[in-house]
Chains A and B, each alone.
Chain A
């Protein structure tokens, strides 16, 4: 393994409120604009930078040593690096791991993603915590404060913007049993439950037991891996697909993925969901992250921007039904508005048909809801983890169970219709 000699080239990070951090360049040189956020996960930087939900964001890792294990072809969550810029205390000049095939530095460099290191990332984190997520710019070329502030001023930020269109698939594709993999790396799965080896589940053969349509707002590979592991063939469709197009695929279940930015920036997906929920009220639906926000809006709820968001792999979420706690992976800047009623029961504001299922124990925000009478479930956090703990994989099994019940009911009613 070769070691990259550090060039010690200067880099600067300027935040919209004027605070400036001096550092050193790593990855690509140039400039990066985005919303500056921080992630407190100590592992999984490769998954994080590839997570489409970070599109448009400059991600700061609070753990100081990043790059220790290099990068490998399989620990990816999309086909490319998604972050707008990457901020670390120290990029490791050397990586060590039996699966590593390259360094983080080269990886970012090749992808043209600008990184900055050797700055007080804790000071930056505390600043964001106090002032909230803000726009920022990393530059290795322009060190003129006025000029950088001017660029920041012109940068539109994330609120109200459609970032999904940057990350959604251009055309629909099949994933899972029966599909031809476009990117075999996307198929490496880590077996849930009892620990085992990393497995490559080859494509080919017959189609899976269930057909799931996934609306791709920036879907993470691990969601697809898990659905496929549970014997689903997934038809991943662009976020722009309308309800008719989706329903024409005749899915056993509908999945709405995670994704970047403000849910209000994608009114067309909300509209699609509204229509599907109306036309096919019995269809099992599962949403994650941006998915919960879009479903919330589709049911008439509200979303709001969190001060600095939740990004990490250690957030405690309480399952209100079982009283159990899950340690969760989180990555969101917006959330569905909910509150406690006079009796102390949680509710989604403006949505009497919905029932809150999960609460974040750190700040009492909504982490999950379900429809009171339909098989519609969604969570704000990331049960697919990657990076993060596997505590919440049961949600996928629950989705599969609903699909099976739904299919059984359809068979039942068809049989009933036939016998009538």
Chain B
């Protein structure tokens, strides 16, 4: 069927900020969709609130709206742009829900917008579990038994019928938020209550537990001619009961016979037809009983998903791109397979390798959190590895995870074997693979491990083979013993040189030399969708240890970009954005771009983005393999965050040409002592600091500087383990735990500039000229990690003199560090004095935000500078002045970590960010809050509970709230202070003072905004309960003074004016 000509303009909705459960996989799908539709000649209107995405680049769509993803604002955009169609399936659950809301409210009908991809009825059938259940019964598919409950009584009744254990899922929440398994009446009641509270429609599903069953997913595509194909099968290594986002998963399915696989395939075809997803991709999940083979269908997502991104990377079949083309009426046979070119997309990819995905967790950031894995997703990122066997792929993935492991153990970084090994095998947790290895080393039978963990014994046996090889290697103590045969066998099982070195008492580089001298070298194979049946035209490559290499490097001028690996807090999509911009820049400059990355969610690992893609772990060994093969003119390490930076010096030592700012400069900026010296030479002020190697030194330094101080291990990103210490006692505690956890060789102690204003500057330098990209004033005061604070561009309270000083210092530092590329400086302003807190001569997290704000891609320019262009040639010689005001707000994952206090501090905790754009500070701030899911109220009651030090500062703000018609509830101290100053408020009890107390008010939804600033280290149970209550009930909350002032400004602006929608193209015009 030819593509539709009745449609000219199509709206695509993105997924908003990165949150747990919705990450950059939707930037990948959205970007592909934009490209695919424009390739077919359609105009695209894109809406997303996340500035760090590639899809929101002004070049990606005719119109890009960085606006809040609410039905009201998207309706305004529809009214303004008049698209004929809305593609709802590319932006995750967010876009799907929003599309349904727009359809329900009649907006789509009113403006004649057709839903394409999935129709409303299909979305309903798939998402509404009752309808879904009926549909499945109709086509004869077996389902998990279960029923809905809307209150605790009903819940009791349902569980009475089904029997424990059961799984509880709240309706309409993201990534399974609030879900849980219950096996006793007590924890059932608790889980049911929590689920009912979290569900926006106060409904939970209670289901028969299939925990421990085998879990599978099929990625399915359908076109308008009803052709249906399966793109990929995925088998979860971890059984049912663990969210698939938190499971290790393997493609293709490993333990199904053809009979069983085809039965599943038939079911998937029947499901997509019955649900009625007309075009595009869907993800269908199944559970299979390991002993009887009983197969039940779990769920279906009528849209592209995290799994479809994984499946696309795993097979080379770009699901989102094809889905976008199908949505406008093309059929699978009309779309060519990009990789083979000669064959059509109407086929089922077959692969001749094994793909392993491992989630990356971040429990260390949320102390006190139970790290047991459940049906609620907790991971923040993932790594994918390709190998010719499961063993090879598993070990590659483990070292690609960048958790300081080099494979399945055997790397000298073993955690001590726990006494309760059996319990750890039974309990799903992030380290379980390592416990399995331990059990195997202890001689436990794989069947027994399988019994405990419910992980299929096939996988355990594969791991046993790895462990047997480890034992074999451990017996070899000389390089003579490391014969070519042994080395080859080990490498074929995915052992890294580091592991071999650890086991045989050698350095990894010595193993490398020995190995190469014995002719044991990695070769590269192509991902070709067809198992080698047809020639592959796209160099999408992975390493393995076989006999034949298919990389065939070109002789073009080429530059290699090292990506940022799996997402984690502190390092995510922002860096992928930069890497992709670098690839674009290289293409524009006629260079061949070579991308190396291991994160399947990203745009950078789309084989369309760079000329050559190596899907490899970002370790010294793996990167050297590629460098030696490709011999690039330069390697870019400054765009991928800490991952490639850590490799910069070791790579340079091996003679790898790092381009841009030298690794020595990067290193200098990270080394506090050397950097301190440089600052002294330049006469630039910075907070007093000291480096302590033991407690005594730490106490001396703290005494010299004076409390409060900021302490952290040196060489960390995202402020890991960074805290503000107010007294000696706390310092002793910190030092003890830091030394216990061997967080680093040294501890950095800085003067904490209380109540200072913090500022970030991003700039670019070509070695001669330095141009400011943007100056961002943080809204929260210094002491909150820059990644977690909101910020505004241009600065709204700093005077011209201080700003000029910052520019001057930026230029001086860029010169001193011989920056070629990007530089980020964090300043603090206190009592009109400027301090430099930190200098990063590399791409920072704020580069995409600044680029979107000023309309210039700094990362792209920086990449061009690195290959020798000057800023003058590139036409960027002056700081861009903007007329609009841009606010960035961070998005926090606290809802997923129930036992953690939600306060901000020097350690970064946010997963994502949003932008608010407008011509008024209050409006921009309000928009950013809406996008961050913290929409400011227009009326109602505000609960205020303030620390003494904040009471005066917030007085005018609270007065303003009263004037705006809000009712104020205040806890005793705050109430008295307000009273003294003539501001009317009602006193409310703290917890324990009586009822109703402030937590009761929150829990009864009587509060529409909570302002609570932390009161030092003590008190804190009821403050935490209060904040947690607000969070779970979706009540907007503010925990800093400056944040509260901004929020009040925002409310005022919202009450005065209307929210308007403006595209980036209009802002830049």
A302 within 8 A of B: no
Smallest beta-carbon distance A96→chain B, Å: 4
A43 within 8 A of B: yes
Give chain B residues whose Cβ lies under 8 Å from the Cβ of A119.
Answer: 547
B538 within 8 A of A: no
Give chain A residues whose Cβ lies under 8 Å from the Cβ of B533.
Answer: 38, 40, 62, 125, 129, 312
CB nearest neighbor in B for A44: B258
Chain A 348-382 interface mask (CB, 8 Å, partner B; 1/0): 00000000000001110000000000000000000
Give chain B residues whose Cβ lies under 8 Å from the Cβ of A96.
Answer: 255, 456-458, 461
Chain B 251-294 interface mask (CB, 8 Å, partner A; 1/0): 01111111111111111001000000000000000000011110
Smallest beta-carbon distance B467→chain A, Å: 13
CB nearest neighbor in A for B1: A323
Contact between B352 and A198, CB atoms less than 8 A apart: no
Interface centre among B262, B525, B535 (most CB of A within 10 A): B262
Cα–Cα distance between A195 and B267 once the two chains are bound (Å):
6
Cα–Cα distance between A98 and B390 once the two chains are bound (Å):
21
Smallest beta-carbon distance B239→chain A, Å: 13
Contact between A43 and B263, CB atoms less than 8 A apart: no
Contact between B465 and A314, CB atoms less than 8 A apart: no
- Tell me which of A47, A129, A314, A385 contacts B350 (CB under 8 A): A314
Contact between B270 and A62, CB atoms less than 8 A apart: no
Whether A361 touches B532, Cβ cut-off 8 Å, given contacts A44-B257, A64-B353, is no
Smallest beta-carbon distance A133→chain B, Å: 13
Residues 38-73 of A contacting B (Cβ, < 8 Å) = 38, 40-44, 46-47, 62-65, 68-69, 72
Residues 783-799 of B contacting A (Cβ, < 8 Å) = none
A316 within 8 A of B: yes
Smallest beta-carbon distance B68→chain A, Å: 42
CB nearest neighbor in B for A198: B259
Residues 308-345 of A contacting B (Cβ, < 8 Å) = 312-316, 318, 323-325, 327
Contact between B262 and A390, CB atoms less than 8 A apart: yes
Give chain B residues whose Cβ lies under 8 Å from the Cβ of A313.
Answer: 258, 348, 350
Give chain B residues whose Cβ lies under 8 Å from the Cβ of A390.
Answer: 262, 265-266
Smallest beta-carbon distance B172→chain A, Å: 29
Contact between B458 and A121, CB atoms less than 8 A apart: no
CB nearest neighbor in A for B465: A93
Give chain A residues whose Cβ lies under 8 Å from the Cβ of B344.
Answer: 316, 361-362
Give chain A residues whose Cβ lies under 8 Å from the Cβ of B262.
Answer: 43, 190, 385, 387-390
Contact between B349 and A63, CB atoms less than 8 A apart: no
Cα–Cα distance between A389 and B225 once the two chains are bound (Å):
18
Smallest beta-carbon distance A69→chain B, Å: 5
B548 within 8 A of A: yes
B343 within 8 A of A: yes
Smallest beta-carbon distance B273→chain A, Å: 11
Chain A 15-51 interface mask (CB, 8 Å, partner B; 1/0): 0000001000000000000000010111110110000
Give chain A residues whose Cβ lies under 8 Å from the Cβ of B346.
Answer: 316, 325, 361
**Size category, A interface:** 35 or more
Residues 349-373 of B contacting A (Cβ, < 8 Å) = 349-354
Chain A 217-244 interface mask (CB, 8 Å, partner B; 1/0): 0000000000000000000000000000
Residues 453-505 of B contacting A (Cβ, < 8 Å) = 456-458, 461, 465
Cα–Cα distance between A97 and B253 once the two chains are bound (Å):
12
Contact between B548 and A126, CB atoms less than 8 A apart: yes
Contact between A3 and B257, CB atoms less than 8 A apart: no
- Tell me which of A94, A98, A312 contacts B290 (CB under 8 A): A98
Cα–Cα distance between A35 and B934 once the two chains are bound (Å):
68
B119 within 8 A of A: no
Contact between B293 and A98, CB atoms less than 8 A apart: yes
Whether A120 touches B546, Cβ cut-off 8 Å, given contacts A97-B257, A125-B532, is yes
Contact between B255 and A97, CB atoms less than 8 A apart: yes
Contact between B548 and A318, CB atoms less than 8 A apart: no
Give chain A residues whose Cβ lies under 8 Å from the Cβ of B350.
Answer: 40-42, 62-63, 312-314
A92 within 8 A of B: yes
Smallest beta-carbon distance A103→chain B, Å: 12
Give chain B residues whose Cβ lies under 8 Å from the Cβ of A312.
Answer: 350, 531, 533
Contact between A42 and B546, CB atoms less than 8 A apart: no
Contact between A195 and B263, CB atoms less than 8 A apart: yes
The A interface is mostly helix, strand or loop, or mixed, namely: loop
Contact between B227 and A325, CB atoms less than 8 A apart: yes
The B interface is mostly helix, strand or loop, or mixed, namely: loop
Give chain B residues whose Cβ lies under 8 Å from the Cβ of A43.
Answer: 253, 256-258, 261-262
Cα–Cα distance between A174 and B354 once the two chains are bound (Å):
44
Contact between B266 and A195, CB atoms less than 8 A apart: yes
- Tell me which of B259, B332, B456, B534 contacts A190 (CB under 8 A): B259
Give chain B residues whose Cβ lies under 8 Å from the Cβ of A72.
Answer: 257
Cα–Cα distance between A242 and B97 once the two chains are bound (Å):
67
Chain A 90-120 interface mask (CB, 8 Å, partner B; 1/0): 1011111111000000000000000000011
B7 within 8 A of A: no
Contact between B257 and A40, CB atoms less than 8 A apart: no
Give chain B residues whose Cβ lies under 8 Å from the Cβ of A93.
Answer: 461, 465
Contact between A314 and B227, CB atoms less than 8 A apart: no
Give chain A residues whose Cβ lies under 8 Å from the Cβ of B461.
Answer: 3, 92-94, 96
Smallest beta-carbon distance B587→chain A, Å: 29
B992 within 8 A of A: no
Cα–Cα distance between A196 and B140 once the two chains are bound (Å):
8
A386 within 8 A of B: yes
Smallest beta-carbon distance B697→chain A, Å: 55
Smallest beta-carbon distance A6→chain B, Å: 9
Interface centre among B254, B267, B332, B447 (most CB of A within 10 A): B254
- Tell me which of B225, B457, B531, B548 contacts A62 (CB under 8 A): B531
A210 within 8 A of B: no
B715 within 8 A of A: no
CB nearest neighbor in A for B526: A122
Give chain B residues whose Cβ lies under 8 Å from the Cβ of A122.
Answer: 352, 388, 525, 532, 546, 548
Cα–Cα distance between A92 and B390 once the two chains are bound (Å):
11
Residues 221-236 of B contacting A (Cβ, < 8 Å) = 225-227, 229
Contact between B257 and A123, CB atoms less than 8 A apart: no
A89 within 8 A of B: yes
Residues 236-291 of A contacting B (Cβ, < 8 Å) = none
Contact between B141 and A324, CB atoms less than 8 A apart: no
Cα–Cα distance between A41 and B352 once the two chains are bound (Å):
10
Smallest beta-carbon distance A250→chain B, Å: 35
Contact between A68 and B458, CB atoms less than 8 A apart: yes
Cα–Cα distance between A318 and B331 once the two chains are bound (Å):
12
A418 within 8 A of B: no
Contact between A194 and B257, CB atoms less than 8 A apart: no
B588 within 8 A of A: no
B347 within 8 A of A: yes
Cα–Cα distance between A129 and B528 once the two chains are bound (Å):
14
B1062 within 8 A of A: no
CB nearest neighbor in A for B226: A324
Contact between B347 and A64, CB atoms less than 8 A apart: no
Whether A327 touches B257, Cβ cut-off 8 Å, given contacts A95-B458, A98-B293, is no
Give chain B residues whose Cβ lies under 8 Å from the Cβ of A125.
Answer: 352, 531-533
* Nearest 7 interchain pairs by C-beta: A44-B258, A123-B548, A62-B531, A96-B458, A94-B461, A40-B531, A387-B258
Q: Knowing that A120-B546, A195-B264, A312-B533 are A-B contacts, what are 5 other residue pairs whose CB atoms are under 8 Å apart, sorted by A's residue number?
A: A47-B258, A62-B533, A122-B548, A194-B266, A316-B346
Interface, chain B (partner A; CB < 8 A): 139-141, 225-227, 229, 252-267, 270, 290-293, 295, 332-333, 342-344, 346-354, 388-390, 446-447, 456-458, 461, 465, 525, 530-535, 546-548, 550
Provide a sorted-by-A list of 24 A–B residue pairs whose CB atoms are within 8 angstroms. A3-B461, A38-B532, A63-B351, A63-B352, A68-B458, A69-B256, A72-B257, A94-B458, A119-B547, A120-B548, A122-B546, A122-B548, A125-B532, A125-B533, A129-B534, A129-B535, A195-B263, A314-B347, A314-B349, A325-B229, A325-B332, A325-B333, A361-B333, A363-B342
Interface, chain A (partner B; CB < 8 A): 1, 3, 21, 38, 40-44, 46-47, 62-65, 68-69, 72, 75, 89-90, 92-99, 119-123, 125-126, 129, 190, 193-196, 198, 312-316, 318, 323-325, 327, 361-363, 385-390
